[in-house]
Amino acid sequence: MANGLYGIYHSNRTADDHWGKNCFNSSFPTAAACFMLDNKINAIYITLAVENGKLVIKPKEISLSAAFNSGSKPLQELYFSFETVYAPYQQYSFDPIDGIDLVVKDIEGNFLSPLEVKLTVIPTSQTSVLPEEKWGSEIVVRSATTSYCALGMFDSIKEHSMDIREIFENACSSIQMWDNDYEMTHKMPSLCKAIDKFQLKYYKNQKPLLMQTLWKTQGQSPILAEQAFDVVIWSDYAFSRLFLDNSALPAETMRRGMRASARLARCLWELSKSGKIRVAEIYRQMAFGNQTDKEFAIGGSLWRKYVTSDRINNLALNRDVVNKIIEPGYIDRLMPERRFDQTLYFTMRGNT
């Protein structure tokens, strides 16, 4: 581990970069995932399924090699490119697409997987007062994540463009102004119905999109729990339900979740017609008065309704695994500005 982190042999980040502000939050989760891959510990996989004709969220398990789409390649043959563009998706947009937290490639330069990365604590302050089995974690989502969600969905089923257009045509073609608050609030039920129809038909094409690494503390204290770490992978279809569910409910103005749902419908519809759209322009135009970098946030209790795996009560990795994921001496490089940094810096140093 020349850079102090498990499994990240090749990267666009230097050994110093990993420990800097805003970098550790994606470098550490990647190293934890590498550790799980090497030790054949599966991640929790949140997927979309169909039961009795209805869309439901189902927790499964997935290997980290499947999440990375790396097959049987060892970690020494993988390249972790942080905060970069997943080039295969650029073909679907006239304007430059955003970067995503982690692009997994092999050392030959072949693109394998784009993943948004979250490092989140369990419990949140709101859920810490509940019984432990109800503790949850928060996710704050960027617009880049939802745009990758749309592009990834289309990429998986692009050969069915004619069918996708048919699914969305009635709901989308009648819209005069995609940025009109009044019109869009009234069109949301038909847009959501079209997306549901699309997902009922194509949910088997879902693939990993978001890698959420959990770290668990002893309630609200800064001390790590005994079983302290795990990885939750969200498929693109399951992730989309975080903003789709409830978006069809009546509303006076466009809420953040509704905005994300409308953007998804528009992207899929326009891609089905021409195979290439102006992603950045769509996202800029459909802002509805909200900031454009933050898409939406999910609180701990709502998160727990989606992440129903029993493993949340007993995370896969013991706190001592930190000493295997982070090489001795490297924790001292952290600048304890944020809560996870502080937890590692102050509690783990005392145990080494």
Question: How many domains does the structure of the chain reveal?
Answer: 1
**pLDDT at residue 292 in the model:** 61
SS3 45: strand
Instruction: For strands 100-106 and 111-122, give the pairing.
Output: antiparallel
Could you tell me which residues are beta bridge partners of residue 103? Answer: 81, 114
Contact present, 311 and 216 (Cβ < 8 Å) = no
Residue 274, in any domain of the structure: yes
Task: Quote the pLDDT of residue 21.
Answer: 73
The owner of tokens 């069809």 is 248
Question: For residue 152, with 0-12 CB atoms within 10 Å meaning exposed, 13-18 middle and 19 or more buried, which class applies?
Answer: buried
Number of H helices, E strands in the chain: 11, 11
* pLDDT for the residue 146: 95
CB atoms within 10 A of CB 44: 23
DSSP state of 347: I
Residue 298 lies in a domain: yes
Question: What is the pLDDT at residue 342?
Answer: 67
Q: Are 103 and 90 in contact (CB under 8 A)?
A: no
The model's pTM is 0.94
- The answer to the question of residue 349 being in a domain is no
pLDDT value for 341: 63
**In contact, 43 and 64? CB cutoff 8 Å:** yes
**Full domain range(s) for residue 138:** 10-341
CA 149 – CA 17 distance, rounded (Å)? 28
Residue 2 lies in a domain: no
What type of residue sits at position 350?
Answer: G
Handedness of CA 236, 242, 243, 248 (dihedral sign): positive
Domain-embedded: residue 40: yes
How does 74-93 read in b/e, with b if 16+ C-beta sit within 10 Å? ebeebbbbbbebbeebeebb
Give the contacts of 154 (CB within 8 A, at least 6 positions apart): 92, 164, 267, 268, 271, 272
pLDDT tens-place values along the chain, 352 residues long: 568 999 999 999 998 899 887 899 999 999 999 999 999 999 999 999 999 999 999 999 999 999 999 999 999 999 999 999 999 999 999 999 999 999 999 999 999 999 999 999 999 999 999 999 999 999 999 999 999 999 999 999 999 999 999 999 999 999 999 999 999 999 999 999 999 999 999 999 999 999 999 999 999 888 899 999 999 999 999 999 999 999 999 999 999 999 999 999 999 999 999 999 999 999 999 988 766 667 899 999 999 999 999 999 999 999 999 999 999 888 888 765 546 766 776 667 656 4
> Which residue blocks in 211-297 are alpha helix, DSSP H?
236-244, 256-274, 279-285
Q: What is the pLDDT of residue 349?
A: 64
Residue 224 parent element (H or E): strand 224-235
Q: Is 216 helix (H, G, I), strand (E, B) or coil?
A: strand
